A and B are shown apart, each in its own frame.
Chain A
Amino acid sequence: EVQILESGGDLVPPGGSLRLSCVTSGFTFTSYAMTWVRQAPGKGLEWASGISHYGDNTYYADSVKGRFSISRDNSKNTLYLHMNSLRPEDTAIYYCARGIMDFDFWGQGTLVTVSS
């Protein structure tokens, strides 16, 4: 059974940093690219970042480029999102999803709140 579990969400002040983790199981992690999608409270979905199977290619939304960094540890079946220079508008539930197109499995999300 495919399982995806995000963690690391927290309340952080503007300008702060945070690292989100996404632990996966039930599938061959190296066979899949992975993606982060976020959703601000009461708002729609926003694609944030994606990474290829072995991490050699990364992709970012304009809104996070230069501040966020996606990475993966294939030995731990884990995806990461390193977030720096956080802004109030980064407040959202962050979802980890399998795939780089056609996100077929999702975690339940982790909440990041950026506020003083």
Chain B
Amino acid sequence: AFQMTQSPPSLVASVGDRVTITCRTSEDIRNDLGWYQQRPGKAPKLLISASSNLQSGVPSRFRGSGRGTHFILTISSLQPEDSATYYCLQDYNYPYTFGQGTKLEIK
């Protein structure tokens, strides 16, 4: 069965820090992976599509990279509003699968 592993489950960082979140898949999914941000009590928001395509209006401190089975979301120069849970999603084949999520706390 297709496996998707997102890490770390949680992290704590300070304003101005750079953080990375990783998703690994058990099969090659080309670049068919997106990243979503979900703030508490809110609907998810699409940040990045096709591994590295930044959505309109999303700050440039968010960057996605990777292809195949290894993908990375990098957030540089953290801001207080970046406190949220981040999810990757493979949309290469059905059924689509989200990663387990990474809860980012800004201290």
Contacts and interface: CB of A to CB of B under 8 A. Distances in A.
Contacts of A47: 89, 95-98
Nearest to B96: A47
Interface residues of B, number: 24
A78 B40 CA distance: 27
A44 interface: yes
B46 A103 contact: yes
A60 B44 CA distance: 20
Q: Is the interface of B mostly helix, strand, loop or mixed?
A: loop
Contacts of A107: 43
| Size category of the binding interface on chain A | 20 to 34
Interface string B5-49: 000000000000000000000000000101010100011111001
Interface string A8-42: 00000000000000000000000000000100000
Interface in A57-95: 59-62, 95
A24 B84 CA distance: 27
Nearest to A48: B95
B98 A104 contact: no
A103 B55 CA distance: 11
B98 A44 contact: yes
Interface of B: 32, 34, 36, 38, 42-46, 49-50, 55, 85, 87, 89, 91, 94-101
Interface of A: 37, 44-47, 50, 59-62, 95, 100-104, 106-109
